[in-house]
Structure 1
């Protein structure tokens, strides 16, 4: 029996193939597993990440869309909201409901109406405009604030590396 999450993910994948969205492409890591996607995010123009090709994986839970996927960059990337292992830390991917720490409103967190497209558009906008208030990579956030030239240099290295792959 095919469950709701499988049908929904197949539909979203087909929609993205039919109507590609500028700035990223998406597909499956393995055609037999609808729950693991590989996405390629193209560094947004007029940002430090411009010209980069950043590969990431989206791992969907079986109860998607009730719960959010996890997103992890496979390509090295230096950013305040992406931890050193590549895990993306962004409100839209946080479990639904109220934030026990009081940083985020429930409306900023995961909602079942979100799609792969809305997730990736949020991540692209996060690349352009980091939130250094709640960093996943404290060192990157500190550099972003205190030593922007070093931050820029590290990002430029990541962009160059991503182009070689």
Structure 2
């Protein structure tokens, strides 16, 4: 599918897909969920080394709006994951996926931390991998996970270990 009718978003996403196929990244794989839809991607992240998530295989979806790159995609883990920055339903809460500009409701997050059109599939997924490596309990998406991370690290660690084990069982 090419030609002048193809949107800027579709052209950019096709180019990024080509780049990822040509030079596969080390800790994740990415591809289209369905070859006929450039706006929905399947992502498979390998738990980063030297973290609680090491060895896990975490599947996620990345859904791009037709207004990409001016607007951010949404990312959702399909594999259950226990993390303060992932909502219980799997939605990823990370600054770079927040709409661009200032947010009066979240003053500690500056506009420079939020979505920027220079982000690519690779920079998004690398940021999510970094988030896995370094969870934060500031403005959490999963309040229970954040409370455990802060107050009961042993229980938090056990729950993450269960997620890692289940990810390998294909649950």
Structure 1-normalised TM-score?
A: 0.99
Can you list the C-alpha shifts for 1:89-128, whole angstroms capped at 9, x where unaligned?
0000000001222121111000000111110110000001
Partner of 1:8: 12
Q: CA RMSD in A?
A: 0.5
Can you list the C-alpha shifts for 1:17-61, whole angstroms capped at 9, x where unaligned?
111111100001111000000000000000000000000000000
Partner of 1:130: 135
* CA distance in structure 2 between the partners assigned to 1:132 and 1:18 by the alignment: 37
User: CA offset at residue 164 of structure 1?
Assistant: 1.2
2:69 corresponds to which of 65, 71, 96:
65
* CA distance in structure 2 between the partners assigned to 1:118 and 1:106 by the alignment: 17
Partner of 1:33: 37
Query: Which consecutive unaligned segments of at least 5 residues does structure 1 have?
Result: none
* CA distance in structure 1 between the partners assigned to 2:78 and 2:104 by the alignment: 30
Structure 2-normalised TM-score?
A: 0.95
Partner of 1:156: 161
Partner of 1:103: 108
Can you list the C-alpha shifts for 1:134-158, whole angstroms capped at 9, x where unaligned?
1000000000000001001000000
Partner of 2:152: 147
